[in-house]
Amino acid sequence: MTPVAERRWNWLLWAGFLLSVLAFFSYFFFFVQFPLTRNFPWVNLLLFAFAAGFLAVGIRRAFRRSELYRGKALGPILAGLTVLIFGAFAFLMFIVARQLPSSAGAPRAGAKAPDFTLMDTGSKPVSLTELLTAPVHGAAPKGVMLVFYRGYW
């Protein structure tokens, strides 16, 4: 009788699941600090894509080469948990975050903005009134465009 080789640990399944957990929590604890990743969680979506790839390869390995690799039962369970984690992340980022109430004290579109003073790129104070009254190329300006970015600094 020939000895049966012990099946190997299917690390891709666990790597995919742990990467999906990392993708979920890293947004709230790390990537939310930077405007480039806070406004759209592209890094986290990439991490979820890599997690899905690892899981897919791990499940394929478990079912096609079950004599060598473990994970026929655990693979679909970890994949299901990963889908739930990704679903929760997508729900929070793309549905709940869009339903946040607007500020009651913010001016409405088309309303006159209150006067304010901010620093320009050269660290000199510039006021809205100054921009509206200073001549540009010999003519008075007709308006000032204000751009507001979502988030905090």
Domain of residue 17 covers 11-99
Q: Which helix (H) or strand (E) holds 118?
A: strand 117-119
102 is written with which tokens?
């607007």
* Count: domains in the chain: 1
**Digits of tens for pLDDT over the chain (153 positions)?**
445 567 788 888 999 999 999 999 999 999 998 888 888 999 999 999 999 999 999 888 888 887 777 778 888 899 999 999 999 999 999 998 888 777 777 777 778 888 889 888 888 998 888 888 877 777 777 778 877 666 554
Return d(Cα 97, Cα 39) in angstroms, integer: 10
In a domain, 124, yes or no: no
Distance CA 125, CA 121 (A): 10
pTM, to two decimals: 0.66
